[in-house]
Structure 1
Amino acid sequence: MSLKPVQARTAGRCHLLPLLLLHLVPAVLLLLLSSSASASASTVVTHLPGFDGPLPFYLETGYVSVEEDTGTELFYYFVESERSVSTDPLILWLTGGPRCTVFSGLAFEVGPVKFVLAPYSGGLPQLVYNPLSWTKMASILFLDSPVGSGFSYARDPKAYDVGDYSSSLQVQTFLNKWFIDHPQYLSNPFYLGGDSYAGMVIPLIAQYISEGIEKRQQPLINLKGYLVGNPKTDPKFDINFRIPSAHGFGIISDQIYEDAMKSCKGDYVNPTNQLCAGVLRKIENLISEIADAHILYKKCVVAVPKPFDDASRRKFLMEESIKINAAPGRPSLDCFTYGYYLAYFWMNDNLTRNSLGVKEGTTSEWIRCIKGLPYTFDMPSSIPYHLNLTTRGYRVLVYSGDHDLEVPLLGTQAWIRSLNFPIVDDWRAWHLDGQAAGFTIAYANNLTFATIKGGGHTAPEYQPEECFAMAQRWLNNEPL
């Protein structure tokens, strides 16, 4: 399968910040570039601020240089499997957005720590061990990608202008360099995993790795497949199926749905007439009344910092110490987003930065999902990559929280069906503790689709027990 030609990038490092860096004046830029350091660095973390006692798992953090001429470095958290390090799978975990930090995956989805949800009154939020961490069954390499996410940074402001293809190539470069530094994991079964927009680029990254394997490029990664949750895939499926899903969830009426079908003729992505555009506005207004990431949850303040103007941004970027200049809106304690609020203060504490080995001067304000940096959505659809990889025999698990309206399961089912694979295990319930935990269907070419009953857009956040059981069975090559 031919891929869109892209100019590959390599690696380097220095001081800078992922926040619309193009606003930096040259003099400030030169000041920030005055120091230099090695192209890669790692830290073994034995204690974390706010966590009682030594960590009961192996945690390593670090940077890998992926583009030398622009000084682009990607930050990672590596947690070894708590079961069998030598034989358990290794998963590269990415988070969506694009440009949400992978710390969301580590602390809110599949990683070994979680926040104590207590009212915040200053100081350091507390962490506890997560007994449903997927590190019970696999080693996980959490990666802040694309550059600008979390603690990943670049020396050259222009380096933040990436897209689907260029950022995926940087992930491939990251993996090659990481495995050279960690050859003891090369024999472990390797998988890619992630939710939301990560599901768009994961098949592309897997494609790049697969081509490297075919060319016998070193290091030879033991790629076995990938798993994606509520994955962005193709707007004609992801967006078009929001309308029938909203109708099925009872958010829009029969009449509004019928008007949409009649006026838009099945195309809700590109309205071609005023009647269609009007009914779509009406539908979006109705959807805005609920939390579309999980329609049953409260609609809460999203815990992201408030935007600030160019003048305050320039001043902020020049600060050497960490200043919380744009504190996020505070959700109520019973809101799903309260953990995100706590994470903001925990990550912006110098004790946390020091323990994680974050390089001074590279990221001033940690933001869970950063907005305002350029990103090119240059891959219109990931379906060709899904088709190519499954045809080559790689294992794939696609799962959907069934209460998500951002990437509804109806659209995910539809693009999977468009592959025209024969069914090898027809639609049935899968169970946990004697109860249906969701429904599943298995196709030829090692493709499995599963729903998570009660799950939202990032299913492991909402239904951790069910997702733990699903992942464990699938990674163990057992039927769900």
Structure 2
Amino acid sequence: MASSRTLCVSLLLLLLVSVSCSYATSRLSSDRVSAKPPLSQAERLIRSLNLSPKKPVNIIKGDVADFVPGKIVEKKFSFLGDSGPSIEDLGHHAGYYSLPHSKAARMFYFFFESRNKKDDPVVIWLTGGPGCGSELALFYENGPFHIGDRLSLTWNDFGWDQVSNILFVDQPTGTGFSYSSDDSDIPHDEKGVSNDLYDFLQEFFKAHPEFVKNDFYITGESYAGHYIPALASRVNQGNKQNQGIHINLKGFAIGNGLTNPAIQYPAYPDFALDNGIITKANYDDIKKLIPDCEKAAKTCETQGGESCGEAFGTCENIIGQILNIAPDINYYDIRKKCEGPLCYNFENVEILLNRDDVKSALGVGKDLEFVSCSSTVYEALNLDWMQNLEVGIPALLEDGIKLLVYAGEEDLICNWLGNSRWVQAMEWSGQKAFGTSPTVKFVVDGAEAGSLNSYGPLSFLKVYKAGHLVPMDQPKAALQMLKNWMRGNLTKTE
């Protein structure tokens, strides 16, 4: 690749997450929302993201013969070309893991060793969607590089590889460069998602034993508000049962996530009114939709199955009404106007990653297309959307595994208010103490960059001047947040 390509991989991830937290990006039509959104809705969303994969998912037929379950194939690579550091000088890896509990699924990942020291924590980043590739975050948010015009890559001074050894994984199967020969390999619930990721982590640490002793953290955005707690519980369970390699799980962080929909959906009208998006009269009308949403969410929780699809449709009416009133708002960042159908343009990452020379450098077959956001994966997890993933978190807190929930204050889709409410409502031994904890300043470069509440292993951080994609909007604050949190002192100033 040309030496001018220095590196940038995060906006797509950002977009990815946005796709997740209520699928409001598809601009649902207001009064009537189908219980199960049609495939065309997901396809419209992907087109509106200025992403146009030729196929909705990578299903490569006839690829079973070479499939070796549980095997990792990895290679070093450099995006910097001849004038940059050599491959030997860079701890940049790309690889495929053959999922053992599948017919022929291969999970693609990037691994970037810390620019600082190898004993920095290992961090895994999960993008949302569901069905969007981790490369969106990698190039537009918190990866080592940023992608600019003419596909130029530049070093990201605030990449999270400054303080961690970081993994970006294309998951679930069918996302990004991950693929299978059988569409039945695409998981339909968090059990399937978390088991696949746990199997991957086991094999990853076998392939990289020098990192087994490092602290381990799970992070991500948007619909990863589902993935992250599920994976944290799976890792904790594996550790307790002495399954394979002990993963040194210390904490998990959810950014502008969708975690407890029954609490987060009713927060939409309050947030919209507080920020002048709707009028008091609008608010009074929209609030009438909340009882049906709460009832449907409860039915989903107790009955599961198709009732969860019905709950999704019922609750989406709330955000649909708000977007009808404010059709031009950027629902990922209410300070901005929506430019284009999805408010951001991330097409450069798709152009870059579908170049033959780039795919060759990454060990990706020429017949594979980078699928930025998969409508097939999105549809496969339709009944997972309204599931409450908060329920497993108290047990993790009681085991001393810390949680950071952070949210950019300008995001509507997975807004800070809804996230704050589910965190406050969560029942655990420290609930009362957390609820009465003082709100303190989060300071970056001597300036107030957010407000923080914390008690014991639980922290909630509202990030100022940031939307849905905090590492993109406030990269320096996001890096300091990660570093301080992992070191156990979010209030420390630099």
Normalised by the size of structure 2, how large is the TM-score? 0.77
For the 8 Å contact 1:271–1:277, the answer to whether it is kept is: no
CA displacement at 1:98 relative to structure 2: 0.9
Residue 430 of structure 1 corresponds to 442
Residue 256 of structure 1 corresponds to 282
Change (3 A) 1:476 1:157: same
Q: How does 1:29-178 map to 2 (within 5 A)?
A: 29=61, 32-33=62-63, 36=66, 39-48=71-80, 54=86, 57-67=90-100, 69-85=102-118, 87-116=119-148, 118=149, 120=150, 125-178=151-204
Which segment drifts farther, 47-56 or 250-259?
Answer: 47-56
Code of the residue aligned with 1:436 in structure 2: it is E
Distance 2:419 2:320 in 1: 24
CA displacement at 1:53 relative to structure 2: 5.6
Change (3 A) 1:150 1:21: closer
Change (3 A) 1:406 1:269: farther
Change (3 A) 1:225 1:195: same
Distance 1:34 1:136 in 2: 39
Code of the residue aligned with 1:104 in structure 2: it is L
Change (3 A) 1:342 1:50: farther
For the 8 Å contact 2:222–2:258, the answer to whether it is kept is: yes
For the 8 Å contact 1:50–1:127, the answer to whether it is kept is: no
- 1:395 equivalenced with 2:402 (yes/no): yes
Distance 2:433 2:296 in 1: 34
CA displacement at 1:18 relative to structure 2: 10
Cα deviation code 1:446-476 (max 9, x no counterpart): 1011011011112111111111111111112
Code of the residue aligned with 1:190 in structure 2: it is F
Code of the residue aligned with 1:387 in structure 2: it is P
CA displacement at 1:237 relative to structure 2: 1.8
Code of the residue aligned with 1:342 in structure 2: it is N
Cα deviation code 1:349-379 (max 9, x no counterpart): 0011011111343x2x213212134423437
SS in structure 2 opposite 1:372? helix
Distance 1:281 1:174 in 2: 37
Code of the residue aligned with 2:446 in structure 1: it is G
CA displacement at 1:225 relative to structure 2: 1.0
Which segment drifts farther, 37-46 or 162-171?
Answer: 37-46
Residue 408 of structure 1 corresponds to 415
- 1:467 equivalenced with 2:485 (yes/no): no
Change (3 A) 1:294 1:278: closer
Q: Which protein has the larger Cα radius of gyration, Structure 1 or Structure 2?
A: 1
SS in structure 2 opposite 1:400? strand
Residue 346 of structure 1 corresponds to 352
CA displacement at 1:408 relative to structure 2: 0.9
CA displacement at 1:264 relative to structure 2: 3.6
CA displacement at 1:286 relative to structure 2: 1.7
Candidates 380, 396, 411, aligned match of 1:375: 380
Code of the residue aligned with 1:284 in structure 2: it is L
SS in structure 1 opposite 2:180? coil
Change (3 A) 1:216 1:35: closer
- Aligned residues with identical type, % of pairs: 27
- 1:301 equivalenced with 2:335 (yes/no): no
Cα deviation code 1:322-358 (max 9, x no counterpart): xxxxxxxxxxxxxx734x1111110110011011111
CA displacement at 1:230 relative to structure 2: 0.7
CA displacement at 1:158 relative to structure 2: 1.9
CA displacement at 1:283 relative to structure 2: 2.6
Distance 1:300 1:270 in 2: 36
SS in structure 1 opposite 2:359? helix
Code of the residue aligned with 2:395 in structure 1: it is N
SS in structure 2 opposite 1:140? strand
Distance 1:466 1:47 in 2: 26
Which segment drifts farther, 232-241 or 93-102?
Answer: 232-241
Distance 1:33 1:88 in 2: 38
SS in structure 1 opposite 2:439? strand
SS in structure 1 opposite 2:375? coil
Distance 1:302 1:50 in 2: 39
Candidates 444, 451, 458, aligned match of 2:462: 451
Residue 3 of structure 1 corresponds to none
**What value does the CA root-mean-square deviation take over the aligned residues?**
2.8
Residue 217 of structure 1 corresponds to 243
CA displacement at 1:141 relative to structure 2: 1.1
SS in structure 2 opposite 1:342? helix
Tell me which of the two structures has the higher relative contact order, counting C-alpha pairs closer than 8 angstroms and 6 or more residues apart.
2
For the 8 Å contact 1:200–1:382, the answer to whether it is kept is: yes
Residue 370 of structure 2 corresponds to 366
For the 8 Å contact 1:401–1:453, the answer to whether it is kept is: yes
Higher helix share: 2
Distance 2:234 2:56 in 1: 29
Distance 1:454 1:280 in 2: 22
Candidates 316, 337, 344, aligned match of 1:337: 344
Distance 1:302 1:437 in 2: 30
CA displacement at 1:271 relative to structure 2: 8.6
Code of the residue aligned with 1:356 in structure 2: it is L
Residue 451 of structure 2 corresponds to 439
Normalised by the size of structure 1, how large is the TM-score? 0.79
Code of the residue aligned with 2:63 in structure 1: it is L
Code of the residue aligned with 1:442 in structure 2: it is S
Change (3 A) 1:265 1:59: closer
Distance 2:291 2:286 in 1: 8
Distance 2:316 2:376 in 1: 27
SS in structure 1 opposite 2:257? coil
Cα deviation code 1:125-164 (max 9, x no counterpart): 1101111111111110111110111111112122125332
CA displacement at 1:252 relative to structure 2: 0.4
For the 8 Å contact 2:57–2:374, the answer to whether it is kept is: no
Runs of 4+ off more than 6 Å: 276-280
Change (3 A) 1:475 1:51: farther
Unaligned residue ranges in structure 1 (runs of 5+): 1-16, 304-335
Distance 2:159 2:319 in 1: 40
